[in-house]
Amino acid sequence: MRKNRSRCFLWIAASLTCTSAASADLQSDVMRLMERLSSNKPHHLGPRILEQGDELQLLLPSALVKSPSRCLHIVALAAQSVAFSLNMPSADAEVDDVSLPSRAGVIEFIRCGEAGVSLSDANVMMLSPRGVVDIIGYIENRPQPSVTRILPWRAAGDEAPERGLSHVALSVALAARLDHLELQATLQAADRTERRIVPPEDAKSGQLLIGFDPGCHQLQLVAERSDRAIMTDDLGPELVWADNEQPAARELSSSPTPTFRVCTAVARVAKLSFSAFEDDAGAVLFRAQFPWPNGIPSNWAVQARNQMAEALFRRHLPSLPTLPSQAWIGGSSATSLVVPVAPRSCYLAMVATSQGSTNDVTLAVTAESRWMADNSFDNAGAGVAFCVNQAQSVKLDVDSRGTDVVWILGLWNVAGGPTHADFT
């Protein structure tokens, strides 16, 4: 590792908070939307901070709710990484209640006339650990296009089709394997699981679109014939993001049940490629979704947040107890930092790239007489957990060998938390 500190590309060495930039982005979007809708006299509920599971009643004015000949538009906004839902009970006993999930931090609902769902008990429920939600209501003579025409960066792209297992008979062996995966996911504290039959046309083409909500996901492609290896050439099945064709995850083993682990801070769609099925053998995509880990600042770049979440997820560390106590940004060089620490404390250092290649960063920590190191790999950041006894400072070395790389390094106090063995 190069020791020439004169080449260090150190931009920031300061404590960061997780809410300021995200709140600023939300406020900017709300102000832009209110300005464009000013002629409609929109009703602005104002920002509300919600914890996971909290429900916020809409409490819209009667002038908006009771518009028999006009269309009511409701727009709920949050940071793009925040997941929430809009829930509205049906006024008709024969009509199901309506629950709309957020995509890229946006939910839009339009009701023309007073038929259908009732808005008297409508509420927004927070699904993320914490988030700020803002709600705007306005009326128009006819349904209007999506607000993403005003906020184009909020467009989440095409939604992947989801197909359930209703009315489909599974073989006994396949059902048993899926039950085993379900049990494993439950023991690993998954938020929810999903079984999705691979449609025959997708099985024969060897491609499948998959939609991802914010969080960490484990996908397993289970063939009906357990002896079938689902491969593409010599690399195995591959998962890439549909919007830029960049790798989301890759399975390099020849296991008959490939496994992919993906963490994303925002809603996205990915494309899974595998060897086409030439026979009528079926397959099921099993998904277990886990909550987004606490402790990663929401105002950091999405790429860096994804890599850090994936580093924690792969090592079965669900979250961090606090936000980082210190953070730095650097570039394509070798950087050495001497960082003060508290004696008899434990820490976790993690580095990830916010720009450039995700697999060209090495992190090393020298704490007292110990030297520990880790490399970023397969879209996961590098992390080193360590404890100190009497030392009042440690040395952090970041070596970035890619071009046009920008990295973020965070240091978390995790007293009683993971040891370096958890990251090796």
pLDDT tens, 70-108? 788 888 999 888 888 888 766 555 556 677 888 888 988
Q: What fold does the segment set 20-154 form as a domain? A: Jelly Rolls (2.60.120)
Residue 1 pLDDT class (50, 70, 90 cuts):
very low
Instruction: Give the per-residue pLDDT at 159.
Output: 52
Instruction: Give the per-residue pLDDT at 253.
Output: 54
Mean pLDDT of the chain: 77
pTM of the entire predicted model: 0.57
Per CATH, the number for 5-16+295-423 is 2.60.120.380
Q: What fold does the segment set 172-290 form as a domain? A: Jelly Rolls (2.60.120)
pLDDT digits (tens, 9 = 90+) for 179-201: 888 888 888 888 888 888 888 77
The answer on pLDDT for 164 being more than 70 is: no
The answer on pLDDT for 11 being more than 70 is: no
Residue keyed to tokens 């989301």: 248
Closest to 158 (Cα-Cα) out of 235, 269, 69? 269
Domain ranges within the chain, ordered by starting residue? 5-16+295-423, 20-154, 172-290
The answer on pLDDT for 166 being more than 70 is: no
Instruction: Give the per-residue pLDDT at 13.
Output: 31
Lowest mean pLDDT among 232-246, 262-276, 349-363: 232-246
210 Rama sector, left if φ>0, alpha if ψ -120 to 50, beta otherwise: beta
Instruction: Give the per-residue pLDDT at 3.
Output: 38
Which sign, positive or negative, has the C-alpha torsion 12, 17, 19, 20?
Answer: negative
Looking at residues 6-13, what average pLDDT do you find? 32
Lowest mean pLDDT among 1-5, 125-129, 295-299, 306-310: 1-5
Domains 5-16+295-423 and 20-154 share a fold: yes
